[in-house]
């Protein structure tokens, strides 16, 4: 029997887990069981494969042997090096995603991107002006866009002394980064330097390695991710509040279901545009379908949800189960967080698994490469393919569980400020009055080591109950949505102060702010609030959490949050526990440097206690009631 009740919080997931078992389809949970117990050395972070004098393992043996790798590196150096490379991987993912937006905007400027356009010209001019583009208000749109493209590309290189968007951070924070050697200079530069420093025989000091890891993470948050967010808004529109729905129930028995999966809006927006074309809708009807239904998975789902209100089928651990419904006609993927197992699972059904990026190829998938110049044509082709797949669907194997749950989305900073009358002051008044005691961004993933979404939902509920407003991004969105937390009615689950504010504004106590690159929106908001109060981010009553994180990207987010002065909770530790020095810095030592550190706690109620304690302490320092 499958212990599906211990695996996930959700009815839709449990039903699909039972169906998968009946159909002999293994999932991540089954493979997790096979992989457990995991390698202890790797868990502790004390394995090194950075050269072929090794691989080496560091053991804490009584006879004193195996304390050093062949080169002489000890556990502290090895753990710090591994963690540094882990962060570099995450920063590379978000930032290379950001680069794809620059390339798309560049293709629009050059007239080589049919179907793409600048949907938010006002934002283009505003951002260009902010980043120093001359006469951004008055010159022709495409000239301004061309200059913005140059500014953004330059952030990836080696000729800057600091990233362009860093001016959004409070002055005190920027000075602190400068003193600590944490100022990110170039995005690719910091990532490459992390790889250099961790080659055998370079940076062998854990504190120095961690400092550069923080700089690399900051290059992600205030660089690659922020470019990704802002250029996506310029190209596809700045999100404004809107309604949608979530869970596997958004799949339709009577429609061609196209699931977009991955991260970048560049492909998923064009798939949506194709699915909205009358000719393809007619083709779907000719094939016997009532409609073309585009729904999202993971972060590209968040992108479409935020800007277009497209329903969300599921988060990370729902991706396999979405295929098990038997109703997914096509999965269209770009890159990141796409389990290789999806190819095998899709092959058990009529589902077409389509990859679109040269950076994300999967053996056995249908590869239709999408670039800005051919996206319109290729995405039409992909939608056509989904329609064909629909005709091969086996109705006997279709099982769409549960009814969709309504959600509210679209809380960009622009939307939040507009709702507040253009200034963060009313929000700060509510904070000063203690109605909102603070803010916590709950971000990130699912991990089969944790009952799916129990941490994400458990923590969110616990915090809003304590009048702490929650900002949700990434895969937490689906979790919060399924729990009903993304509706204004959830104000009834909040404490009296937060509840009153939410009711007055008509907003939920958990605000959906976007995908994982959109955590940059939260950084920007923190910068705005700190400037408004004349303090540093490390003085604000804020926190961050990733209760069920799994990825390198999530670790990079956690580290840039901490380095920006935001105390950050993790539901499970990174693989650093083999070094007391590195662990000590992560959970304590960083406090003395950047005014924030990590907390690791599996229990959501205890995690809420920890985050609340930081918020109380910061409120008191600001002279506010606890």
Site residues (vs ligand NFS, CB under 6 A): 263, 298-299, 315-316, 337, 444-445, 474-475, 516, 551, 553-554
**Which two tokens mark 564?**
């920006």
Write down the least CB distance from residue 478 to ligand NFS, Å.
Answer: 9
Write down the least CB distance from residue 316 to ligand NFS, Å.
Answer: 4
Which residue, 56 or 267, is less far from ligand SF4 as judged by CB? 56
Near ligand SF4 by CB under 6 A: residue from 54, 360, 434, 488: 54
Residues 156-195: x/- map of binding to ligand SF4 (CB under 6 A)?
----------------------------------------
Distances 461 to 10, 432, 509, 610 between C-alpha atoms, Å: 16, 22, 9, 15
Considering only residues 444 to 503 of the shown chain, the ones binding ligand SF4 according to CB under 6 A are none
CB under 8 A, 24+ apart: contacts of 62-71: 71/200, 71/201
DSSP letter string, 80-94: HHHHHHHHHHHHHHH
| Number of CB atoms found within 10 A of residue 188's CB | 19
Write down the least CB distance from residue 70 to ligand SF4, Å.
Answer: 4
Write down the least CB distance from residue 365 to ligand NFS, Å.
Answer: 18
Matching residue, tokens 């390698």: 39
Near ligand SF4 by CB under 6 A: residue from 5, 22, 39, 53: 53
- Of ligand SF4, ligand NFS, none, which one does residue 379 interact with (CB within 5 to 8 Å by kind)? none
Near ligand SF4 by CB under 6 A: residue from 42, 200, 505, 535: 200
Matching residue, tokens 């922020």: 226
- Of ligand SF4, ligand NFS, none, which one does residue 54 interact with (CB within 5 to 8 Å by kind)? ligand SF4
Residue 66's region, left for phi above 0, alpha for psi from -120 to 50, else beta, is left
Binding footprint of ligand SF4, residue count (CB under 6 A): 14
- Distance (Å, rounded) from C-alpha 263 to C-alpha 144? 27
Binding flag, residue 66, ligand SF4 (CB under 6 A): no
Write down the least CB distance from residue 6 to ligand SF4, Å.
Answer: 38
Q: Which stretch binds ligand SF4 (CB under 6 A): 50-58, 164-172, 431-439, 465-473?
A: 50-58
- Of ligand NFS, ligand SF4, none, which one does residue 553 interact with (CB within 5 to 8 Å by kind)? ligand NFS
Q: Are 596 and 590 in contact (CB under 8 A)?
A: yes
Write down the least CB distance from residue 225 to ligand NFS, Å.
Answer: 9
37 prior amide bond cis, ω within 30:
yes
DSSP 498: H
Q: List CB contacts of 610: < 8 A, sequence separation 6 or more.
A: 569, 599, 601
- Of ligand NFS, ligand SF4, none, which one does residue 445 interact with (CB within 5 to 8 Å by kind)? ligand NFS
**β-bridge pairing 510-514 and 468-473:** parallel
| Number of CB atoms found within 10 A of residue 449's CB | 14
- Distance (Å, rounded) from C-alpha 75 to C-alpha 250? 49
Q: Which stretch binds ligand SF4 (CB under 6 A): 20-28, 68-76, 391-399, 558-566?
A: 68-76
**Closest by CA position to 375, among listed 100, 598, 115:** 115
Binding flag, residue 75, ligand SF4 (CB under 6 A): no
- Distance (Å, rounded) from C-alpha 611 to C-alpha 471? 14
Write down the least CB distance from residue 334 to ligand SF4, Å.
Answer: 34
- Of ligand NFS, ligand SF4, none, which one does residue 516 interact with (CB within 5 to 8 Å by kind)? ligand NFS
- Distance (Å, rounded) from C-alpha 470 to C-alpha 480? 10
Instruction: Give me the residues that bind ligand SF4 (CB under 6 A), please.
Output: 48-51, 53-56, 69-71, 73, 78, 200
């Amino acid at each position: 029997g499958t212990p599906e009740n211990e695996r996930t919080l959700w009815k839709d997931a449990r039903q699909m887990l039972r169906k998968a078992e009946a159909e002999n389809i293994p999932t991540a949970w089954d493979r997790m069981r096979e992989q457990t117990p995991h390698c202890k050395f790797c868990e502790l972070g004390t394995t090194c494969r950075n050269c072929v004098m090794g691989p080496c393992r560091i053991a804490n043996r009584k006879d004193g042997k195996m304390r050093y790798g062949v080169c002489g590196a000890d556990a502290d150096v090895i753990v710090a090096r591994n963690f540094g490379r882990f962060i570099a991987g995450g920063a590379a993912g978000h930032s290379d995603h950001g680069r794809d937006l620059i390339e798309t905007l560049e293709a629009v400027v050059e007239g080589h991107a049919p179907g793409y356009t600048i949907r938010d010209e006002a934002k283009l001019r505003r951002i260009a002006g902010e980043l120093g583009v001359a006469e951004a208000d008055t010159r022709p749109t495409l000239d301004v866009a061309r200059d913005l493209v140059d500014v953004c590309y330059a952030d990836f290189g080696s000729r800057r002394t600091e990233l362009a968007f860093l001016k959004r951070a409070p002055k005190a924070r920027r000075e602190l980064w400068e003193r600590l050697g944490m100022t990110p200079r170039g995005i690719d530069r910091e990532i490459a330097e992390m790889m250099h420093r961790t080659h055998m025989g370079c940076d062998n000091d854990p504190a120095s390695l961690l400092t550069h890891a923080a700089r690399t993470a900051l290059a992600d948050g205030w660089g690659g991710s922020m470019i990704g967010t802002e250029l996506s808004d310029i190209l596809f529109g700045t999100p404004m509040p809107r309604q949608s729905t979530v869970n596997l129930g958004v799949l339709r028995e009577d429609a061609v279901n196209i699931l977009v999966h991955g991260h970048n809006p560049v492909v998923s927006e064009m798939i949506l545009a194709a699915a909205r074309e009358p000719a393809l809708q007619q083709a779907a009807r000719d094939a016997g379908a009532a409609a073309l239904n585009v729904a999202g998975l993971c972060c590209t789902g968040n992108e479409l949800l935020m800007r277009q209100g497209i329903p969300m089928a599921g988060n990370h651990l729902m991706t396999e189960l979405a295929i098990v419904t038997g109703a997914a006609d096509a999965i269209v993927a770009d890159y990141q967080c796409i389990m290789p197992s999806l190819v095998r699972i899709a092959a058990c059904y009529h589902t077409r698994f389509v990859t679109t990026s040269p950076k994300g190829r999967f053996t056995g998938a249908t590869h239709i490469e999408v670039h800005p110049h051919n996206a319109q044509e290729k995405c039409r082709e992909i939608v056509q393919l989904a329609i064909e797949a629909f005709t091969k669907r086996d109705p006997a194997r279709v099982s769409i569980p549960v009814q969709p749950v309504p959600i509210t989305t679209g809380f960009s900073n622009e939307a939040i400020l507009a709702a507040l009358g253009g200034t963060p002051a009313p929000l700060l008044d509510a904070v000063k009055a203690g109605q909102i005691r603070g803010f916590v961004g709950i971000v990130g993933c699912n991990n089969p080591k944790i009952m799916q979404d129990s941490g994400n939902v458990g923590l969110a509920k616990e915090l809003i109950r304590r009048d702490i407003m929650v900002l949700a991004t990434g895969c937490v969105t689906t979790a919060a949505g399924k729990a009903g937390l993304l509706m204004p009615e959830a104000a009834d689950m909040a404490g009296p102060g937060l509840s009153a504010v939410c009711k007055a504004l008509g907003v939920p106590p958990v605000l959906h702010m976007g995908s994982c690159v959109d955590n940059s929106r939260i950084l920007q908001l923190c910068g705005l609030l700190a400037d408004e109060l004349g303090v540093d981010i490390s003085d604000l009553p804020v926190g961050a959490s990733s209760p069920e994180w799994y990825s390198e990207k999530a670790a990079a987010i956690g580290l840039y949050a901490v380095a920006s002065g935001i105390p950050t909770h993790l539901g499970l530790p990174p693989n650093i526990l083999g070094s007391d020095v590195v662990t000590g810095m992560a959970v304590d030592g960083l406090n003395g440097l950047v005014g924030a550190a990590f907390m690791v706690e599996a229990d959501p109620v205890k995690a809420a206690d920890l985050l609340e304690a930081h918020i109380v302490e910061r409120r008191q320092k600001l002279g506010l009631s606890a």
